[in-house]
Every structure is written in structure tokens, then in C-alpha cells.
Amino acid sequence: MTTIIKTNNPVEHDYYKYHPMPEISNWMAQVAKDHPDVVTKVEYGQTYEKRTISLLKIGLNTGENKKAIWMDCGIHAREWIAPAFCQYFVRQILQAYKTDPKMQEMLKNMDFYVTPVLNMDGYVYSWKDNTVSTRLWRKNRSPGPSGCNCTGVDLNRNFDANWGTVGVSFDCCSNVYCGSQPTSEPEAQAVTYFVGTRKEDFLCFLTIHSYSQLLLIPYGNPNFTAPNYNELMEVGLGAADAIRRVHGMNYTVGTSPDVLYANAGSSRDWARTQGIPFTYTFELRDKGIFGFELPEDQIKPTCEEAYSGALHIITYAHDKTFSGAVATAAVTLWTMLAIFLVLMCVL
């Protein structure tokens, strides 16, 4: 006898596997459908190959103008652990907010904007076949300028922050080709427009890469220092401690020129120039044994520790903004009460 069990539940999403682009797009639609009270899918741009770039906006609708957190993954195609982390991050905050009062408070005060795959064309290309030239593709897929037979711009050199000054190439065949001009690429334009038009709202800009186990702070050009460099370092070191406590992994914190190499035109640097205070690049596992081809059995521990680090930064930014506001409101109330009592006695 055969029993067929019918179920309406779709196949559960496996967060500990790498997923090709269509599966990630389906997952985004499903998450929005499953959590209509807190999740909205927002389309905000188009890639060179006309794919629609979208993000998940996660937060409680309070009717007020809220602060915001930015996270993007997959700006570099071959760094597959990054999109896996964005998916994990979304699941974790959606689970946490059901039971954790702190996450409820943060989702009341802030919206999280999470782009699981920014460089969609490059990501699709990296899944095309298992040859080195596709799997290890880094750039987007826009054609080179006339006379150049190479494809792609390094999107993390294309943003309008000291563009083209250091750590880039003007050779369109290079892996760090910065494009013909700042923000020439549609994917960089999409982020620039979306974040740029709400820049006062954003407290954090977290952009997720691999590999090397680093937390990078602005700026990539050694001639410039972020006005809140000390605080960025302190919060970054706190995040590295949080990461270490999960699986004992060491992450190094610093500016790109101090701990990696100088580079201009990154999205992190651009976000800091826009006045967003807490901007970090995460370089996830490992330190080079597997590099971009991190095995799937490392997805879970990598995501667990990175979540802890990201949450440290986000919680700091939240508490700095909102604990102060609460304290100020309380002081104002007491002042008004005192004035009222004084007036009552006088009159």
C-alpha cells in the first residue's frame, strides 16, 4: 500500500547550502509572503542584463519615520558565502523578533534593508559551469569600453568616493577595473540612489564580502581618515570579540590600507562620505585555504559568528541613537513637571 501525504508547505529552504539566483529570488518572495506584517520586498534597480535588483525591508510598521540599517551581499560574484549570510541574517532576525524583546525594540525603531545579491549578473555567471573562469568571476557583466574585449567592472571600485585614486585599474581587463567614471554601473547607481535619497535615516551600512576574516572601516584611501575613526575601531573590535566568542575565529579590524590594501571607490567609503556613521566591510571566512570556494559545511559556523558580529554593531548604533533619545525625553518631562510645580506654588 502506498500512502501519499499531500502538503501545501513548499520545500524548506536550506540555509546551509549555496543557492543559484532563481532559488534566492523565490526565497525572497516566500519570506515576504510568510511575514507580511514585517517583511516587504522592494525593487530598486536593474542590472546591466536587465535583472531586477531587490531587497527585503524588515521592520514593524509604526507609521513614523524610522532609522535604518543597510546590508548588501554578493557585490562580488564569486564570494558565495556572502549571499548565504544575507539569507541566514534575515532568518535570524525574523526568528529573534518573535521572542527577543531587544529585537522587537530594534524592529520598532529601525528598518533593516537587506540585499541578498547585488551583483546578480555576475552571480548568475559564477554558477554557469564549474570552470575557473566562471566560478571565480568577480565583476559585473557590462561590456568594456569600445576597443576593449573584456567584460565587467569591479562594482566595489565604482562608487563615488575618491574614485580612481588608489588600488584600482583603468585597464578594462583587470579584476579591479573601476569603470569609465564614478557610478557608471547600474548596480552601483541603484545603491547610490536608494541609500542616497534616505541617507539621514541610515545608521549602519554593512557590506558583506569574503574572504580574509576582516572587519574593514573607512577609508580605503590612506590620505583620508573617518571623523569617527576611534569609535569605528572600538565598535569593530567589539564585533570581532563577539565573533571570536562563537567559534574562536579571529577577525582583524582596521582600514583597508592598514590591514589589507589601499583601494578607492568602495561602497563602504561612499556611504561614510554620505554621513552614515557606522560603515563596515565584512570579509568572511576563511583565510585562504579554500578562499572563495568555502565548503558548504562551513556556511553554518561562518554565518553564526558573523551574525554575532553584525548584531554587535547594529545594537551599538541603535542604543546610541535611541537610549539617548529616551533619556532626553525623560529629562524634558521632569523639567516640565518641575516648572509646573514651581508655577503652582508661585500662583
> Would you please indicate which residues are annotated as catalytic (active-site) residues?
283
Cβ 79 to Zn ion shortest distance, Å? 5
Exposure class string for 222-261: b at 16+ Cβ within 10 A, else e: eebebebeeebbebbbbbbebbeebeebebbbbbbbeebe
Q: Is the dihedral of CA 239, 167, 178, 173 positive or negative?
A: negative
Cβ 271 to Zn ion shortest distance, Å? 16
Cβ 170 to Zn ion shortest distance, Å? 20
Residues that bind Zn ion (CB under 5 A): 76, 209
Question: Cell 590591514 sits at which residue?
Answer: 259
Is the Cβ of residue 97 or residue 282 nearer to Zn ion in the bound state?
282
Tell me the HSE value of 324 on the side-chain side, using a 13 A CA sphere: 6
Is the Cβ of residue 94 or residue 190 nearer to Zn ion in the bound state?
190
Residues 210/213/214/215 CA torsion (nearest 10 deg): 80
Is the Cβ of residue 139 or residue 209 nearer to Zn ion in the bound state?
209
Cβ 140 to Zn ion shortest distance, Å? 12
Contacts of 68 (CB under 8 A, 6+ apart): 110, 111, 112, 113, 198, 201, 202, 203
CA-closest candidate to residue 103, choices 116, 115, 90, 94: 94
- Give the integer Cα–Cα distance in Å for 172 and 121: 17
Exposure class string for 155-167: b at 16+ Cβ within 10 A, else e: bbbbbbbbbbbbb
Cβ 7 to Zn ion shortest distance, Å? 39
- The count of other CB atoms within 10 Å of the CB of residue 125 is 23
Is the Cβ of residue 109 or residue 266 nearer to Zn ion in the bound state?
266
Q: Which three cell numbers mark 125? A: 555567471
Is the Cβ of residue 76 or residue 268 nearer to Zn ion in the bound state?
76
Q: Does residue 286 have a cis peptide bond before it, meaning omega lies within 30 degrees of 0?
A: yes
Is the Cβ of residue 111 or residue 286 nearer to Zn ion in the bound state?
286
Residue 301 DSSP class: H
Provide, for the chain, the percentages of residues in helix, strand and coil under a 3-state DSSP scheme, each rounded to the nearest 5: 45, 15, 40
Q: Which three cell numbers mark 122? A: 555576475
Cβ 76 to Zn ion shortest distance, Å? 3
